[in-house]
Amino acid sequence: MPITKSAKKSIRKDKKKTKINIQRKNKIKDLIKEVKSLVAQNKKDEAKKLLPQIYKALDKTAKNKVIKKNNASRRKSRITKAINKIKK
């Protein structure tokens, strides 16, 4: 158990941050699943509309060091490549 005030505050902060980080990761996972299902259904336009949301979510999590910068970059690249493979 923490003894000092600062240690107690640190634990409270960690719990809060962990919750926020999990929410951000789950949002990314949900968006990626949605895009993958649209790609499987050959719905290019709808998938392209979700790209800005995915980019924003990935960039924010990378900025806050929840995921690494290259991880975000790789995910963006793969999603974009998958969408561009769809033929109209």
3-state secondary structure the chain: CCCCHHHHHHHHHHHHHHHHHHHHHHHHHHHHHHHHHHHHCCCHHHHHHHHHHHHHHHHHHHHCCCCCHHHHHHHHHHHHHHHHHCCC
Q: What angle do CA 27, 29, 33 make, to 5 degrees?
A: 120
Sign of CA dihedral 53, 81, 77, 27: positive
- Per-residue model confidence as pLDDT tens digits over 7-50: 999 999 999 999 999 999 999 999 999 999 999 999 999 999 99
- Would you state the pLDDT for residue 87? 80
- Which pLDDT band, with edges at 50, 70 and 90, does 1 fall under? confident
Domains assigned to the chain: 22-85 (1.20.58.110)
Q: What is the pTM of this model?
A: 0.86
Mean of pLDDT over the chain? 95
